[in-house]
Amino acid sequence: LPVWCSGFKSSRSNAGGTYPCATGTTRGGSAGTVAAGVTGAGTGFATGALATRRTTGLRVGAAVIVFAARSIVALPAWSIAQVVVGVVIAGVSGAYPLRIPGQTTSITGAEVFIFLALMMNGPAAAALAAAAEAAVGSFCTSKRWTSRLGSPAMAGLAMYACGTLYMFGVEFVSVRIGAQSLMTRLLLLFPIALAYFAAGTLLMASLITLKQSQPLRPWEILRSHSWMALVNLASAALAA
């Protein structure tokens, strides 16, 4: 997820053109000056609103990560050790992204361990693993603090939400069917893998588009990065 930020950089200009901020110009005395002041005030208000939205997203993501960490502390010692190992492996995987030839995007193998943590220890463990991979990857590939702070927050938020849906599905199947087979796990994981791809991609794209004062175009963003959905599906299959 974090290393997709550079990919979004190239897709922003193609998604809907550029949207420069309006600037006022004085053309003839006091009327032009008033127009410039009104335009500047409007731009400042819009910028403040966008900054508030970015801050809200970061706070929600950070709160989810803190909540997930507190949930893990309450587990037995053996389960905590499993989660720590999974988080470390996911973080190390994020330090070695694979650059896609001809593109500015990269992928890692951390998703396999993230889905494995989800199946073994629940959405809290998966959220921490996703945040660790995102944090390491963003620190290695980007110098922008928007990416370094936003990537783990958005990754943790997306995985915790999708992992919670997965656990609801597992509980539903367990009550009505009983023991899960490999096919059942795949049927449950595949939709979650697609949802995680969409949620993580759009959350990170929202941070970038808000920073650039551009509209978010979900369908165009998902379509331009649709091949990453296949990576998530393959990772879910390996984890199952």
* pLDDT of 41: 37
* pLDDT of 159: 93
Residues 6+ apart with CB under 8 A from 86: 113, 114, 116, 117, 120, 121, 125, 129
Report how far apart the first and last C-alpha atoms of the chain are (Å, whole number): 21
* pLDDT of 205: 75
Query: In which residue ranges of the chain is pLDDT below 50?
Result: 1-48
* pLDDT of 150: 78
Decide: helix, strand or coil at residue 106.
strand
* pLDDT of 162: 93
What CA–CA distance (Å, rounded) separates 72 from 85? 13
Amino acid at residue number 156:
G
pTM of the full structure: 0.70
* pLDDT of 94: 80
User: pLDDT by residue (tens digit) across 156-186?
Assistant: 999 999 999 999 998 888 888 776 777 888 8
Q: What are the distances in angstroms from CA 182 to CA 34, 170, 186, 197, 239?
A: 68, 13, 6, 22, 11
**CA quadruple 10, 202, 60, 90: dihedral sign:** negative
The two three-digit tokens of residue 15, written as one number: 């998604």
User: pLDDT by residue (tens digit) across 191-208?
Assistant: 999 999 988 888 777 766
